[in-house]
Amino acid sequence: PMLGWRPTLTAYEIQAVSAGEDAQGRVIVRCRRSTDEAEVSPATGHGLSTNIIEASLEGYLGAVNKLIARPVAREVLA
């Protein structure tokens, strides 16, 4: 992988925000790095759209961008 890790999906939620033909769906995505320890909290991304695929992609990219912005924990060699 280009970043040295892969995003790992830990949670995916879809919620209806409105009703009808043009109803909007909200997606909440939680991801962590494949190299993260279990106790590291996942990054959360949100998406909102009438197209659930678009909302899902917005949420996923939001979570991954937060992971990219986080510093990577590195062991200090003594």
Band the pLDDT of 74: cuts 50, 70, 90. low
Q: Which CATH architecture has domain 7-69?
A: 2-Layer Sandwich (3.30)
Question: Rounded to whole angstroms, what are the CA distances from 53 to 24, 32, 59, 72, 74?
Answer: 12, 21, 10, 30, 35
pLDDT reported for residue 50: 96
pLDDT reported for residue 73: 62
Domain boundaries, the chain: 7-69
- Nearest one of 28, 20, 21, 18 to 63, comparing CA atoms: 28
Q: Tell me: the pLDDT tens digits for 13-66?
A: 999 999 998 999 999 999 999 888 878 899 999 999 999 999 999 999 999 999
pTM confidence score = 0.84
Given phi > 0 = left and psi -120 to 50 = alpha, else beta, which region is 60? alpha
